[in-house]
Homo-oligomer: A and B are copies of this chain.
Amino acid sequence: MSTLEIGKELVALCQQGKGLEAVDRLYDEKIVSIEAQGSDELPARMEGIEAIRGKNSWWYDNHEVHASSAAGPFCGQQEDQFGALFEMDVTFKPSGERSKLTEIALYTVSGGKIVQEEFWYLMDS
């Protein structure tokens, strides 16, 4: 699949709430994931498909999703990259805190698989 085709499939799966399926179908075994912020539990930089599956499972287990949307793909000058935009209205179950999150993601593709994902979070003004 081309970068554009992978981008379209990723966004379509995320629009359906099938983020875990997107990981299984589109991510490389050696995926590198770079969040804007990390913690002892979940470091900002994680590598390998099992770690990324674990991160995604943890996220879905710990958040109640009231609404979410995904837009993209966004295409630029680099043929091996595409972007996406995510908006979520979620409650973090352990604290009960509800928040709206907006993120930009940039994906890098190699050999027909996503090898890196990197996230930027919208700051509160």
Q: Which A positions have Cβ atoms within 8 angstroms of B?
A: 4, 7-8, 34-36, 44-45, 71-77, 81-83, 85, 102-104, 106, 118-123, 125
Contact = CB atoms under 8 A, between A and B. Distances in A.
Contact of A73 (B76, B103, B118, B123): B123
A121 B76 contact: yes
Contact of A121 (B75, B103, B119, B121): B75
Can you tell how many copies of this chain the complex includes? 2
B122 A77 contact: no
A75 B119 CA distance: 8
Given A8-B123, A76-B118, 4 more contacts: A74-B102, A74-B104, A76-B120, A76-B121
Nearest to A73: B123
A85 B106 CA distance: 13
B77 A118 contact: yes
Nearest to A8: B125
